[in-house]
Each structure stands twice: as C-alpha cells, then as structure tokens.
C-alpha cells in the first residue's frame, strides 16, 4: 500500500505540472523553467548525501560502480542494436552527418557538472558527520518538486501530431526492448542483483535524477545507488554512441539516449544526426520521460 501511495505522488505531481502549466502566471512559468536545469544539481547533492551514508553500511561498495558500468553499457548498446534491427527490417537506409569536437567537449563538460554535484554532496555529508551537525534532507520531497517541474517542461515541448507515427515510435520501442535485453544479458555477469531488479534498473532510460531516489525509497539505498550511477553512465554511453555512430545510424543513437534525447542530448542529435531527426528525438524523449518514473516505480513495488 505504501508503494502505491509513493507511485501516486510521483504521477500526480507530473500530471499537475503537465495539465495545468498554461494556467499558471507567465512569470511563474518562466521562473520555474529557468530553475529546472539547476534543480537537478540540487537533487544530486541531496542524493549524494544519502549515498555517503549508504557507503558506510555496504560491505563491498566497489560493486556498485562495477554493476552500474556493466548494466549501463549493456542496456545502452542493447537499445542501439534493437533500434538498428527494427529499422533495418523496415527498409531504412543509413545516413551520413558530421561531428563537432566543440559540441562533444561541451557535452562531456555538462556531464562533469553532475559528477561535481555528486562529489560536493558526498564531501558535504562527510564534513557534516565529522562535526556532528544535525541535518535532515528529504530527497523524496525534492523529487516531487522536480517531477512537477518536469511536467511543466513537457507541456511546452513542441511535439507535433504529425510526428506521432509508427516509424518514429519504433525509436522509443527499440530503447525499451533493447534495455530489457541488456538487463537479461547483464544477469549473466551480475550475481548480486536479481533479474527482476536488473530489469527495473534498465527502465530508467538515463533519467538519473529520478531513478536513484525512487529505487532507494521502494527498494534499498544500495540498489538506489546502482540506479543513479547506471543512468548517469547511460548518458555518457549515449554521447559516445551519438558521436561515433550517430552520423551513420541516427535513429539507433537516439534510442540509446533514452529519456535524455529531448533535452540533454538534443543538441547532439541536431548536429551529429541532422535536423530531420529532431522529431525522432523529441517524440522518443517525451515518451520515455513519461514512462521512466512509471515503469521504475511499478517494477520496484512488485
């Protein structure tokens, strides 16, 4: 019953933001959308504080890193490969584009901000514990605010009805099925996480600011740490695939980007794949951003 209540809170905040966005004052909307990119860093700092506490209770903390790297790699390449098979049998030819070193560098700099936020949160937690300063951080309530902001952002995403066709929907479908296949393969290499939990972790689609908190609340902090790092690494793998193979296999690269295709990796889609693939990225990212909190929370509650 508790799990259902948590899931309901997540979906309610997302729905309120999405459904009532245009009824809020313009100044409030503009302020909220400006805050959104920075709010995720606040979330990461709070998550890192909890993560620091978790590390003190885990026998083999290095397993978190290795498990996340393995799962992220297999799910990212699984999404890429599954989407490639879909479009190969649909008769689509490969495309050629270009690569910008400057944009690649900027992308990795943006990723580094997330790791800096995590590092800051970890150091902050250690200092607070060292000086025995009492504190309380509710990452769950921060996540609810974040989901509300995500709903606002989604309501203003320029999704056109003409984009919703079976060809474009194959991209998020490839990500979903490829991620599950990647989790099944990961089960061979990861012995300390059940198959059900690996499938649950695979459905985060790079939405790291959400998955870590949801899994920590509904499962265990240790598994939540794997979820956080897994989705962070998925974003890194997506950037690598986008620039190494995206010019040749744009739809597959977009599938590997998961939920980030409509925001963080969208500039890379535009530059490496071409403007004609922006609808693929927007639709895929939109669908996966909506599905990620639902699938992760439901699977975690089972």
- pLDDT tens-digit map of 72-108: 999 999 999 999 999 888 777 666 555 667 767 777 7
The whole-chain average pLDDT of the chain stands at: 86
SS3 of residue 263 by DSSP: coil
pLDDT at 284 over 90: yes
Q: What is the pLDDT of residue 199?
A: 97
- CA separation for the pair 179, 64 (Å, rounded): 19
Mean pLDDT of 61-73: 92
Structural domains counted in the chain = 1
| Beta carbons of 87 and 252 less than 8 angstroms apart | yes
* 84: nearest Cα among 245, 228, 295, 279: 245
Half-sphere exposure (CA, 13 Å, Cβ side) for 255? 31
Angle CA(61)–CA(67)–CA(73) in degrees, nearest 5? 145
Which pLDDT tens digit goes with each residue over 159-218? Answer: 666 666 778 899 999 999 999 999 999 999 999 999 999 999 999 999 888 898 899 889
Q: Supply the pLDDT for residue 159.
A: 65
Q: CA-based angle 19:6:43, to the nearest 5?
A: 80
Judged against a pLDDT cut of 60, whether residue 1 lies above it is answered with: no
Q: Which of 50-64, 99-113, 234-248, 263-277 has the lowest mean pLDDT?
A: 99-113
Query: What angle is formed at CA 230 by the lines to CA 229 and CA 231, rounded to 5 degrees?
Result: 90
- The full DSSP string for 6-27 is HHHHHHHHHHHHHHSGGGS-HH
Domain, as residue range, for 244: 2-301
Q: Would you state the pLDDT for residue 31?
A: 87
Report which DSSP code applies to 131. Answer: T
Specify the higher pLDDT residue, 57 or 188: 188
């Amino acid at each position: 019953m508790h799990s259902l209540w948590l899931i309901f809170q997540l979906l309610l905040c997302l729905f309120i933001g999405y459904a009532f966005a245009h009824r809020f004052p313009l100044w409030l909307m503009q302020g909220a959308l400006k805050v959104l990119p920075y709010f995720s860093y606040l979330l990461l700092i709070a998550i890192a504080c909890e993560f620091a506490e978790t590390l003190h209770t885990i026998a083999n903390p290095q397993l978190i890193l290795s498990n996340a790297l393995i799962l992220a790699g297999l799910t990212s390449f699984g999404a890429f490969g599954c989407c490639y098979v879909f479009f190969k049998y649909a008769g689509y030819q490969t495309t050629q584009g270009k690569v910008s070193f400057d944009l690649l560098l900027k992308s990795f700099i943006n990723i580094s901000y997330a790791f800096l936020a995590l590092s800051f949160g970890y150091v902050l937690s250690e200092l607070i514990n060292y000086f025995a300063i009492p504190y309380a951080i509710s990452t769950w309530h921060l996540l609810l605010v974040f989901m509300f902001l995500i709903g606002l952002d989604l309501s203003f995403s320029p999704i056109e009805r003409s984009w919703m066709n079976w060809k474009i929907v194959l991209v998020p479908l490839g990500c979903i099925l490829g991620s599950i296949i990647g989790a099944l393969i990961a089960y061979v290499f990861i012995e300390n996480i059940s198959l059900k939990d690996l499938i649950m972790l695979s459905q985060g689609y790079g939405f790291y600011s959400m998955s870590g908190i949801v899994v920590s609340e509904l499962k265990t902090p240790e598994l939540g740490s794997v979820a956080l790092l897994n989705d962070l690494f998925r974003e890194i793998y997506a950037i690598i695939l986008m620039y190494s193979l995206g010019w040749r296999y744009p739809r597959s690269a977009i599938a590997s980007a998961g939920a980030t295709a409509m925001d963080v990796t969208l500039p890379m889609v535009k530059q490496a794949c071409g403007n004609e693939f922006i609808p693929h990225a927007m639709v895929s990212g939109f669908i996966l951003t909506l599905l990620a909190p639902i699938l992760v929370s439901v699977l975690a509650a089972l």
